[in-house]
Structure 1
């Protein structure tokens, strides 16, 4: 992989000039998929890259199993960058059968790994951790590369009031909590806080954007019962899963974003909301303590604590101008520290050491 080689146009990419495979071997759209989709097109500008699997983004060639088969016993090595166990398993198996792969794994987990994950990690050529916390749970050396966000796509709107009005929601301001509706994401903490705060602040509507999976149906129904009991059916809106392209516009409608996860690998919604200029109140989960300057670009709270969330949100709801100012500082923080270009550049350094 020579830095001087120009990127090959997508339409001319072949197994013979492929340098990087980005596998996405997961049928359900997830946060891992979202982070992968954002950085992959940036990497494709630096290396001749192909995306293998579902949810391929614009800006990177899509390859299939036939293309992969043509790489067998090729002389030049190809980077295989896994982000899940099944992708590591596939990489280890393919290499054992003669594919010339250099294996890279990105770990975002902030917990002790299972035995199979540890076994797979030992077989990787390089490991990337998304934070120092994630790195601390690994039993080998790793490069820390924080996630970045597309600051062009996740950008403040020209007119936030007009963006809010476009949604047809009651009031003048929105407060959001995005991600799959489940206890791990603290969806119940958000709903309980809104049931207490919204009656005091009639200009606000709460918006929850994210999928409700079949196994979480009972949990979601319980949340709806709480919302109904509070008489807030029109002011706590659960959109369900949206098309990927719609999500940035929903961030632009927010004045405040609540990150309520109890447990998180990184928490991409943190930097997405900050990039869109929303004021942030975040639980101390994932990378929140590394991303947020407490009291400056956001407010940190204990995970799972409804009282603390209410206390942190209320001053911002009381003073939307102060929330807007915090959102501007949050956007500046992302531009300085969490751009996609910076993430891609650091990942590229890891690749170049291998090949």
Structure 2
């Protein structure tokens, strides 16, 4: 049986969301979460590999349809999130003369290289995912922060969502999730756990995430440190787990110790699940966490500061619980995925009607 999804009707496609990277990344995750919400209100289609068939998707054979105007509109919007996607949009518009307007979302926390700056200057509109990422842009832009799916990431609702349902030792869990590598600061988390767990016998540490071949030696070194510290029965490397959302609900504290990030969604995922966060000052973390209310932020790469901030919550589980309850309210009020989808749709409409001027930047 042919399970190939039906081709989208290009006459009705107002916005194209390209995804030119097959391997899962934060950008891919953003597209997967946002497009279904946006598709309820506008004509939008994805283009590229690595996306589920549940999304509205253009076929490669339909790319030529971008050279024609959509139904009832003078142009489409090409919403790029990577350099290669900006370059494709520039080629469509300036070489093939396709009727498209170009939008770029930037999450970078660094000075852009000359080619990237050249591409950005050819965009009709630019979005920054945080005030910090916006500070690296040299063009007018809007800040539209990422949101989180609060239907998927929610507080515990059953015994299986509690840490006791995991079948691991201890009463409370502290976790660090995501790709395991030096950039993500997994080693900083492990060092903090080696220092703290002997003083807090009720706590267990959980590490989940994918390990690629190039980072296997890094992970092996961490495991060796844990074993030498005699904590192999209290610091668990679970690898990739099928339901990371459930593991967030099982935690009493989440730690995001990245040395650098683009945006970084894991603190939002944790807080939406009712778990407070201790994070480094990387990515948008400082803009996501209410200091002293939903968690704490420490200088990136500062081992001592991270350990002491984590210690304060491990020493007071009741305080962690209260911070987790406030975190749920905080995320629901400011970072629901619908808010991000709505803000982007409003931007598409302003761009489509030629109403994006300096005042809207």
| TM-score, scaled to structure 2 | 0.90
Q: Report the CA distance between 1:68 and its aligned residue.
A: 2.4
Alpha-carbon shift at residue 109 of structure 1 (Å): 0.9
Q: What is the match of residue 177 of structure 1?
A: 176
> Which among 271, 274, 279 is matched to residue 274 of structure 1?
271
Question: Residues 1-355 of structure 1: matches in 2 within 5 Å?
Answer: 13-56=8-51, 60-74=55-69, 76-95=74-93, 96-159=95-158, 162-243=161-242, 246-355=243-352
Displacement after TM superposition at 1:121 (Å):
0.7
Give, in angstroms, the shift of residue 160 of structure 1. 6.5
Q: Secondary structure at the match of 1:324?
A: helix
State the Cα distance separating 1:53 from its structure 2 match. 2.4
Per-residue deviation at 1:35?
2.3
Q: 1:107-132: per-residue Cα shift (whole Å, max 9, x none)?
A: 01111011121111111111000111
CA distance in 2, matches of 1:173, 1:52: 43
Secondary structure (helix, strand or coil) at the match of 1:199 reads helix
Whole-angstrom distance in 2 between the partners of 1:56 and 1:306: 37
**Inter-partner Cα distance in structure 1 for 2:159 and 2:303:** 28
2:160 and 2:166 in contact (8 A); partners too: no
Q: CA deviation at 1:12?
A: 8.2
Quickly say closer, same or farther: Cα 1:55–1:255, change in 2 above 3 A. farther
Deviation, 1:340, is 0.9
Provide the rounded CA distance (Å) in 2 between the counterparts of 1:38 and 1:297: 24
Note the aligned Cα RMSD (angstroms). Answer: 1.9
Deviates more, 1:336-345 or 1:12-21: 12-21
Q: Is 1:164–1:253's contact at 8 Å kept on the other side of the alignment?
A: yes
**Please, what TM-score do these two structures have when normalized by structure 1?**
0.91
**Unpaired runs of 5+ in structure 1?**
1-9
Query: Per the alignment, in what secondary structure is the counterpart of residue 81 of structure 1?
Result: strand
Q: CA deviation at 1:161?
A: 7.2
Bigger Cα displacement from structure 2, 85-94 vs 273-282: 85-94
Q: In the alignment, which residue of structure 1 is the partner of 2:355? A: none
Give structure 2 stretches of 5+ with no counterpart.
Answer: 353-361
Contact 1:106-1:127 within 8 A present in 2 as well: yes
Deviations 1:82-127 (A, max 9, x none): 1111111222222222332221111011110111211111111110
Q: Which SS does the other structure have where 1:61 is aligned?
A: coil
> 1:335 & 1:329 partners in 2: Cα distance?
10
Aligned equivalents of 2:161 and 2:37: distance in 1? Answer: 31
Note the alpha carbon deviations across 1:286-324, whole angstroms, 9 max, x for none. Answer: 112212111111111111122111211122112222211
Q: Tell me the CA shift for residue 11 of structure 1.
A: 6.3
User: Which stretch of structure 1 is more off in the superposition, 149-158 or 26-35?
Assistant: 26-35
CA distance in 1, matches of 2:260, 2:10: 40
Q: Match for residue 6 of structure 1?
A: none
Quote the offset at 1:169 in angstroms. Answer: 1.9
| Preserved contact between residue 255 and residue 278 of structure 1 (Cα < 8 Å) | yes
Answer whether contact 2:28 2:51 (CA < 8 A) is retained: no
Q: 1:58 to 1:301 in 2, by over 3 A?
A: farther
Q: Contact (CA 8 Å) 1:14, 1:67: kept in 2 or not?
A: no
CA distance in 2, matches of 1:54, 1:163: 36
